[in-house]
Amino acid sequence: MACPFATDFVFRVSTDPIFGYGHVSRLLALRRHLTGRVKWFADPGGRRLLETRIPNIDVVEEESCVSSVDQLVAFSSQSNVKILICDSYQISCDALQPLSIRLKILFFCDRPDINCPPGFIMLNPQPKACAKPNSLTGPRFLPLDTQSSHQTPIDFASLAAPVNCLIGFGYVDSKNFTSMALSALLSDNMLRERIRPICLLGPQFKYVETIKKLLRSFPTSKILYDCQSVLNVPIQCPLAIGAPGLSHAERLYCGMATVLVPQNATHETLCNDWEGEGCALSAKPDPEHIALRFKELIANEFEKAQQISSHGQSIVDGKGASRIAANILAS
């Protein structure tokens, strides 16, 4: 029986806020470089998140749980769709394997220990990702929605104190790493006087009063509540403290020099890999060590910060989504 919705692509994306907004942002960036119609399959409750952000010709259907692909498989089995794109840590390759006989599958995977099944193109945009057959690897394939913004180099030689430092740990920050970063800056008199914290808080952040109390100890500071992306931050921030993920890619695109702090075991490897790539300094989740690495960042008139900023903008150039689109449409 013919499928009632003629579509060119199907997307399965993680939309549950507990897993962050990065999966959605990556696919929205890629969507901008694909012509035709897309049917999106989201987690429960994800329709409202997507419908205001996708083209009018697209449609959204919700799966029964975060690990389900039942609706997607049923739809794809009776449609003429040719390409499936999946970005969710909760979905396994095995769940999509039956579709690989008739579909080209692009599968986002940030883990280096997963091999590429037949019929799949594996996409790992993380630093130090090992190139494998049928894979797209490294930050040059990092899909970033630049929102039509252009990169502007930061002139660290012209900075005057207090210097803005963006502090943000994602959509939820359930363990309140924002307070840890502020405590790091407060632990050193020079940092407290020279750095102006700009705290980027997500809509589900539960420690606002704690943050306000800590900020009273700084000469100047600011809280931003309503920025969906680092690219929407209305204040230029040459420096940052945050976690790896989509926000770090946005910081690199903007030229921010960041001290990265891992929020979990997986983040530890990513933080070290970004430092190895010359795109951050990595710190332990400890105020004293964060302060130490931050002082390294700004030492010698921001020498290290300037290096990270310039190199980061060359690594994350905003063209990752167009490179992905060109590869999956090539054959």
pLDDT digits (tens, 9 = 90+) for 88-101: 999 999 999 999 98
Each residue's pLDDT tens digit, 185-227: 999 999 999 999 999 998 889 999 999 999 999 999 999 997 8
pLDDT value at residue 96: 94
The pLDDT value recorded for residue 326 is: 95
Rg value, the chain, Cα:
21
Q: Considering the chain, tell me which residue range(s) the CATH 3.40.50.11190 domain(s) occupy.
A: 9-143+318-329
Widest Cα–Cα separation across the chain: 71
Does residue 21 have a pLDDT over 90? no
pLDDT of residue 235 exceeding 80, the answer is yes
Q: Strands of 135-137's sheet, edge to edge?
A: 59-62, 38-42, 9-13, 83-87, 104-108, 120-124, 135-137
pLDDT at 58: 96
The order of strands in the sheet holding 222-224 is: 222-224, 195-200, 163-168, 239-242, 257-260, 281-282
Portions of the chain given CATH number 3.40.50.2000: 156-315
Task: Count how many Cα atoms sit within 13 Å of the Cα of residue 61 in the half-sphere of its side chain.
Answer: 18
Confidence of residue 20 (pLDDT cuts 50, 70, 90): confident
Q: Looking at residue 331, what is its pLDDT?
A: 64
Q: Which CATH architecture has domain 156-315?
A: 3-Layer(aba) Sandwich (3.40)
Residue 2 has pLDDT above 70, yes or no: no
Say which CATH topology domain 9-143+318-329 has. Answer: Rossmann fold (3.40.50)
> Which pLDDT does position 283 carry in this prediction?
98
Q: What is the DSSP code (8-state) at residue 241?
A: E
Q: Span 6-27, mean pLDDT?
A: 89
Judge whether residue 1 has pLDDT over 60: no
Of 170-174, 295-299, 302-306, 325-329, minimum mean pLDDT range:
170-174
pLDDT in the model for residue 113 = 66
Distance, CA of 50 to chain centre: 17
Least trusted range by pLDDT, from 136-140, 145-149, 150-154, 204-208: 145-149
Mean pLDDT on 290-319: 97
What distances in angstroms separate CA 104 from CA 95, 157, 191, 313, 331, one per listed residue? 15, 49, 51, 32, 9
Q: Tell me, what DSSP letter sits at residue 130?
A: P
Q: How many CB atoms lie within 10 A of CB 131?
A: 9
Q: Which helix (H) or strand (E) holds 192?
A: helix 189-194
pLDDT tops 90 at residue 3? no
Judged against a pLDDT cut of 80, whether residue 63 lies above it is answered with yes
User: 279 is written with which tokens?
Assistant: 């795109």
CA distance 250 to 241: 13
How far is CA 212 from each of CA 27, 104, 145, rounded to the nearest angstrom? 34, 50, 31
Average pLDDT, the chain: 93
Average pLDDT in the 2-13 region? Answer: 74
Higher-scoring residue by pLDDT: 330, 319: 319
Q: How confident is the model at residue 147 (pLDDT cuts 50, 70, 90)?
A: confident
Q: How far apart are CA 34 and CA 81, in angstroms?
A: 14
115: how many CB neighbours lie within 10 A of its CB? 13
